[in-house]
Structure 1
């Protein structure tokens, strides 16, 4: 699944490609992609609408049209492909939504697994969309409060790895980057969240901000089918320290990286740098 850095990279690419374009026609080839309103209404309302900007909240993309906000979640393998005017647009069984623009160009949504979803809401109402209103803060210094993060850790009965995957705690963090931030902060993925010391919580907080910022700068991580809106692969995979590195030496201590299952998710860590610490639960 694309995580925050990948979605942010897609957003930036889409802005360069479709900002200020006017919709001439919308074709929906797989109706279940559209959550609301009804498909015919969805298509009709977008005709004549201009894409003023494209925003992001967590892993959600928000197309800001003249009178509406279109909320898009890529889920596992959704992606957008842009076709310039006077160019034949590729359409296959994985092409589910097509936005045709008045200048002859078009934007297509492709999704092998058909898990992605779109919803059209009134202008300015996207913060109240069910999947967005429960999101935690964005993982940036200005919004991600250390004090609030420490409080969530202290009041949680969860292990730290699944807690980091909870979008109510911090938005946009997924399996890849959860492994990476825990490695950077030297915390075992099965450490109970409420047993973290103040120093560990501070290290983890800073690691989340630092790793995600670095990944955004690198254009995200290419795992399987991820590409950005310009058809380019991300480059952060060359900077991964533990994810997908089972058996390879830890960059810090050269101990072989180990892979285990934590809350049904494949989890990579260094057994030497990230020791599970037995502490009494508060």
Structure 2
């Protein structure tokens, strides 16, 4: 699944569309995405000018000025395998939507597994759809908010950080990497974390995400950003996807366990 880093890379590559007008938008498939999108919804975008693209967690929030002068929003979630491709060089049976823009540009939404979605609505749609999300990694209050949630219940630190209502945008890849960077075992009960550990986690989360964004994200399976290019941060991962290999810090074999249905990678010697 594209996580915060991959969604942010996608957002930045889409910024050249700012100021352009949607000539028309069309459905290319009769198959529904996670949320159904009617032709009438797409029709609202005809003649609309794109003014901004924001990101909240793993959501992209597009701000338009409609042809009638009324602002509207489009929310895109890439799900497990979604891509928004600028001027796609090829066609795919998994192409679901296409926007034709002024000056001849095209944008195609491609999604093999169809867990993503596109929604169009009035101003406030993005806020409504992300209302329950926790703080962004660069929010100064991140550590304090996460610490407050950590004290409630008995779940592990890994489960805590994977909860989007606790920490927006984090997923399996970057949580595993941040826990390794701070030497925290993923099964540690969150309520046992000290404030210094949570502050260290905050710095680690920021650091790993910044490096991942600079590298174009992680293409573990088939992620491609808007230009159709893969990311390369998977080459820098310390533990994620490296079960059976030696820990880069101590040489101990990296282990893999299941937590909440997801595979967690860690070093039992470095992370306690």
Change (3 A) 1:199 1:105: closer
- In structure 1, the residue matched to 2:251 is 254
Displacement of 1:91 after TM fit?
3.1
CA distance in 1, matches of 2:152, 2:56: 25
- In structure 2, the residue matched to 1:82 is 86
CA distance in 2, matches of 1:81, 1:259: 34
- In structure 2, the residue matched to 1:234 is 231
Per-residue CA deviation, residues 182-237 of structure 1 (Å, 9 max, x unaligned), is 10111111111111223322222221222112212222111110011111111211
- In structure 2, the residue matched to 1:27 is 26
| 1:137 counterpart = 2:135 | yes
State whether residues 149 and 205 of structure 1, in contact with CA within 8 Å, keep that contact through their aligned partners in structure 2: no
- In structure 2, the residue matched to 1:114 is 114
CA distance in 2, matches of 1:185, 1:217: 21
| 1:58 counterpart = 2:62 | no
State whether residues 73 and 118 of structure 1, in contact with CA within 8 Å, keep that contact through their aligned partners in structure 2: yes
CA distance in 1, matches of 2:222, 2:172: 16
Change (3 A) 1:183 1:46: same
Q: Which among 62, 69, 72 is matched to residue 73 of structure 2?
A: 69
- In structure 2, the residue matched to 1:220 is 217
Tell me the C-alpha RMSD between the 2 structures. Answer: 1.7
CA distance in 2, matches of 1:30, 1:116: 15
- In structure 2, the residue matched to 1:278 is none
TM-score (norm 2): 0.92
CA distance in 2, matches of 1:195, 1:6: 31
Displacement of 1:124 after TM fit?
4.2
Moved more, 52-61 or 204-213: 204-213
CA distance in 2, matches of 1:260, 1:33: 31
Alignment of 1:140-219 (within 5 A): 140=138, 142-219=139-216
SS of match in other structure, 1:48: coil
State whether residues 26 and 39 of structure 2, in contact with CA within 8 Å, keep that contact through their aligned partners in structure 1: no
Change (3 A) 1:185 1:227: same
CA distance in 2, matches of 1:146, 1:105: 42
- In structure 2, the residue matched to 1:93 is 93
Change (3 A) 1:99 1:192: same
CA distance in 2, matches of 1:262, 1:225: 24
CA distance in 1, matches of 2:268, 2:34: 44
TM-score (norm 1): 0.89
Displacement of 1:31 after TM fit?
5.6
Question: Gaps spanning 5+ residues in structure 2: where?
Answer: 66-70
State whether residues 138 and 144 of structure 1, in contact with CA within 8 Å, keep that contact through their aligned partners in structure 2: no
- In structure 2, the residue matched to 1:5 is 5
State whether residues 75 and 125 of structure 2, in contact with CA within 8 Å, keep that contact through their aligned partners in structure 1: no
Per-residue CA deviation, residues 159-181 of structure 1 (Å, 9 max, x unaligned), is 11111110011101000011001
